[in-house]
Structure 1
């Protein structure tokens, strides 16, 4: 039997329509997780995405796979925004502020509860997306510190915890009705990050590694 050529051994690329279906599923799932919680029926997600149930299950065999893809897609979009901010010249602190408000628009606080005890937060895809955004935000924060406008006693962990907490809907409150409060409170938080610091923070700056050890 002849040896297969390199071209024959290549895995075929997904068709464009298959990629579009996958993107529609992830977008619909993200919106419905935010609106209804992580246990929203797959049937409803498929209906919102405009695909059949078979298409949804072909892309995502179980809920954890879909949740992971939603979280990764959100983190990757945030990373792309930070990369764009880092490529721009201008006020580094204002770029950091834009990142914080953009994270709120991605509903990061509403999606955080999906990472439950059954969620594999050490999956390679999730680790890669998480490390990418953490590294980029650290660079952004370091640039803002270098201009003297960001206080020096905070780290990436402090920032990410605050974003998660301040963008999470209050119990019994619809997430989509929280925007007018979220951005207002995030701006108050950002004002507290400005140097010179007007108070001394208790404890020490929190890194992402500190959070993972907690």
Structure 2
């Protein structure tokens, strides 16, 4: 396969040509949408069609399907981390910052993507470690602000939110992702109402922690 077109930057290092960079971005965006809509079995032909490029262009940028899935994983994680950090530093109502993060993260359809991203690429623990730490700090900060403002019930933790998001955006077996997508915002509001203080019903067990998410407990 041919190499991606490169030019030299002022430091002498290679730099991806602007049109090649745009093609790569289109391929990653199209792959994410196709994975959400069709699942892991979507063909590269369909991804190429959505991106408006030929199959050969995909292979010039990505060695195989696993490499493409890896790039989608990094792109989705980047957007969620940036969303969490911007929500943390936003002004105004503290619970509204939590709502903004929850709805924005759900828009990434991580419930539909999780099985594909976890099964379809090689382990990425090192690549994602910094992003995971940034996400954890930001979500913890968002929830601390809401709790200090008296609008978040005291018996929930950031792990509860990060566990619920994939569950609330995961399609039911035998149903199309997009057909149920129109209900997600509705169900997220039901979930958010359950996080508000004062709590109506005590929760069983302990709040989920980041260690629980990593399987360390």
What secondary structure is seen at the aligned counterpart in 1 of 2:86? helix
- Superposition map of 1:51-66 within 5 A: 51-66=53-68
- Superposition map of 1:1-214 within 5 A: 10-117=12-119, 119-213=121-215
Provide the TM-score with structure 2 as the length reference. 0.87
In the alignment of these two chains, the number of paired residues is 208
Return the alpha-carbon distance in structure 1 between the equivalents of residues 54 and 125 of structure 2: 27
**RMSD of aligned alpha carbons:** 2.0
Q: CA deviation at 1:9?
A: 7.3
Deviations 1:32-68 (CA, angstroms, capped at 9, x unpaired): 0001101211222122111222221222112222112
When structure 1 is superposed on structure 2, of 95-104 and 173-182 the one drifting more is 173-182
Provide the TM-score with structure 1 as the length reference. 0.88
Structure 1 unpaired stretches of 5+? 1-6
Return the alpha-carbon distance in structure 1 between the equivalents of residues 168 and 93 of structure 2: 24
Relative to structure 1, the CA distance from residue 116 to residue 81 in structure 2 (aligned partners, 3 Å threshold; closer, same or farther) is closer
What secondary structure is seen at the aligned counterpart in 1 of 2:206? coil
What secondary structure is seen at the aligned counterpart in 1 of 2:14? coil
Relative to structure 1, the CA distance from residue 18 to residue 186 in structure 2 (aligned partners, 3 Å threshold; closer, same or farther) is same
Kept in 2, the 8 Å contact 1:76–1:133? The answer is no
Q: CA deviation at 1:105?
A: 1.5
When structure 1 is superposed on structure 2, of 78-87 and 44-53 the one drifting more is 78-87
Structure 2 equivalent of residue 3 of structure 1: none
When structure 1 is superposed on structure 2, of 126-135 and 196-205 the one drifting more is 126-135
Structure 2 unpaired stretches of 5+? 1-8
When structure 1 is superposed on structure 2, of 102-111 and 76-85 the one drifting more is 76-85
Kept in 1, the 8 Å contact 2:67–2:121? The answer is no
